[in-house]
Chains A and B, each alone.
Chain A
Amino acid sequence: MRRLRNISLSLLAAVAFTSLIEAAEIAPGERRSGASFMSVETQAMQNDATANPGMLGVLDGEALWTRKPVAGRACADCHGDASSMRGVAVRYPAFDDKLNRPVDLEQRVNLCRVDHQQLPPLADESRDLLALTALIGRQSQGMPIETGADSRLQAFIDKGRDAFMRRQGQLNLACTNCHDDNWDKRLAGSAITQAHPTGYPVYRLEWQGLGSLKRRLRNCMIGVRAQPYSADAPEMVELELYLMSRARGMASETPAVRP
């Protein structure tokens, strides 16, 4: 019993020690989408637009896009057809001139609602907000992610990177420990991926529904027993920003299917 404990303690120490060494970011040529870690069946579910459950959210989004509120304008009244959103989601999180900080796509939609439609903001993870971000994201399908090209974002990307590299929680793990250093291994039967958010909002089989990147990040933080960021915390957007800029050049898959 004691021998077993000693072995597991030294294993923990080994993991801790190896991470004191500067964690190497994944080489651009080695980057792989989370889809490539999934089973053939789940990949097939994602690739068939009529069998991808995330597409139900896109359908809902199409209805919401043209729906006229009681007083005011529908999204379509300013933006025209949803296809005008092509290329938008792959630039997010983006710098907002008025707020002088980055905002993610969910925040952008709510800013539009409040500023231009005189409507209350949609709640995080609400069906309508997920439907709209799924619709907007879908318009960029297959396009390369461009997030972070704006130089004004650099300071925020750096803060997001610091958060990614920082140990946290009772398990004292940093995101990089798994997602940069151990992405070719498995954790309790599930593949550890490289954590590229190429397909959000994502239909996660575990949730049996669509969910945002923020929800997934909260899952991760709860997983290491850290206090998760709240949805509107600047740290959350900075981390999303870092993750998207880390995935720059990879193709957008929204709505992706993930286990």
Chain B
Amino acid sequence: MAKIEIIIQVEDTPGGTAAVLSKAWVYWRSGGSTTVLRTDETGRLFTVRSGADRTRPWEYIGVFTAETSSQVDIYFSRGAKPIPDARLAENPTVFYTRKVPDKPAAGSMTAPVALNQTNSIAPKPAGVIVIPNYRILLTKPTELSLWPLLWELHNETYFTDGLSQGAALIGAGGVPTLVENGPAPAAAAAERPKERGLAVEGSIDARATGLRIRILDAAGNAVQLRQNAAATAGVLEVPGALKPAAGGLKPFTAIVYLLNTPPVLGPVQIFVLSDGVTPPLIEAFAVQLVGLQAALVNDADANPNGTAAGAVSGAALEKIMVDFEDSPQSTANALAAEGRARRMISYQMYNRDRALSATVATLVLKPEMPLWMGEFHALGLNRARLEDLMIRRKRQLATAPKTIKLNLPWRITTSWDGPDSGTGSPRLYRYSQIFSGAQEITFTLNPNDQLDNVNAQGEVEKAVTPVPAAMTFPVTGRRLPKLFITGKQRAWGRLAGAAAVDAALIEWQPQIADSAGAEILRGGDGILQVDSIQVDGARIDGGMLVTAGGPAPPPAADPDLRLPVFRILGLNPPSPADAVIDALVEEYFNRNNGLARVTLLTLACWQETIRRILAHEAGHQFEHRGSHRSRYAGQYYGLEQDMPIFGPPHGYGYGQHDDPPVTSDGAWSFFENIKESVRRVMADKATGAYSMVNAHMPAAVDQRTRAVYQREIVRRYNGGTEFQWNGTDWEISPGLQQWAEPADHSKGASDRLVYPNQVLGTGVVYSNGVGAATTFPWPIAFPAAQYGPGT
């Protein structure tokens, strides 16, 4: 039998104008077997090269010929990959039966030729077969794109579900009934974030009265889906919704919920089947399904210098964290009602011996933030799959892109509301601070169709902008963030036991620093999010959420990825922190040793004095007694474990900074708090005290003068003044309120009166008697026996 090449044409109406079927898959069923063929831009059929991947159009380079006058069944599709054999086999009625022409169609060509030498000419005529046209188009996702699958963002109820709250949490004694920092029970399934729906949009031949969607895995098998977000049973297909026809097409939408996601992540096909059309229409569109999620690891878990990667924390590591939402309150019950227990991952600060400052090499214990590394996961993606996708994009998309560009705007937000920040108070210490960073990742296909700059470890080098720079704190040698395209696996989601699959891993090293890039510490609540992820300049599709009004896309303002809120816990230095205090006092003393107010006391005396002040003030930086309440002046304050230690009405941290109010540096860094305390004592308080003492400074400074100076400074640290000059000598006559409550003398003397005694270990008698009968024997003599230590 003679054989001829074949050109396929399609017609929109029977007998109408036929057009070339360009760059389409043709399924040629003859003699009981089906062969996948490919048309070129002229409609000519080609066979796949021997041994080549039959899903790659450019491998269809073999001449195809058919026996003239033979009968054949034909179907075609225009997707980026062919319809899998099994799907064709289960849809045998889609084929059109045609007869192969008995001779080629007439043709013409133009051939430049040379004289006097042989010119070979081969018009390669072909017979033309015409079949009905049809159209099924996909607009979301677009073919050969990354099809992102995201998780819902955590609801507030996730954190509190199943945990006692309010009065049930804060017992009669004002302390939690749950074990703080103890393991948190798992949240109920209903409260856990779920995968979002995958939105599918397109249009189908207007003859269709319905359509169904299947998702085919890399082997062409339909994967299990769910009919809707709430369903738990598996189905093989979900219906699409049709809209009115326009231009011969009906737009359609569908939402796909996967039943078991991890094995599906990777290359998939969206398989569309029509209803209401005879013969039916089927089409398959190729996309790369990627599960996108973020994670945060603490490298310090693996080693204190952060040279190796820490582990990804999942829900199994969540602990019970207690706080008070609105503090203070006017009653204990009201404060208890504000008690909240949340399940949270916690990260603790660390302490490490480091140089006191850039100019003082003395090693002292300094705090530091966890050695975080943010992770962006694209599950289902590995080198082979990405290269395959990029090769197809280069060869099959009109723009022939050789790159895929990702933009990841990262953000860590830390915040905390202090016990005096309540809505009913002056709202003093509260803060929220954002630490952001943007990454642009460019995957590039080289001329050899390989991903550019992949090293032996599977890292893609030179792909991230800006180029990661080594962090200089808190320790040198920390690992740099990298981008891995192979050799990494990550679990899909945060649940214990979640299946892990291949993942592209993009790391981002958050820098908790001030605007000048200097290291700072911040604690409290933390949130890691990636706001608006872009692929090649366009924001990714956020999928579909379940809302009261039905499925809906997420609000545009929502971040694409957000980890559940985590807790950053402070870590106290071993108590007492005398070495830190002494070093900071010495540093201040040496730096200001030309000032009379500084040299009036010896270094040792300053160190002794300030150690005593700070020991009395708090002795710690962070609350270490468990969450509890504190009553002061008719207000009940909620104190939170591992948060800055608080003393009513507004004192924070080691030095109980209140006036001026504590800064965030002072709240979260014991080093900065102590440093500021030293400055307050040796500068702010000493300046006033020295001015007072200096007015009556003896020619030869004696111990009495130094003792007065020391005691005056101590008094001033707590507020008020201590001494007055009686014309010949110093005597104690405190310049502060005598009574605890001026309007109610039954409360007796103010506790604050004895502050210098408490700090300095002296026994000056400021009052006699109790209650309303209290008397104040002022002025009070200041004998040598009451001189403070070190003077």
State yes or no: do A and B come from one complex.
no
Chain B residues within 8 Å of A, Cβ to Cβ: none
Chain A residues within 8 Å of B, Cβ to Cβ: none
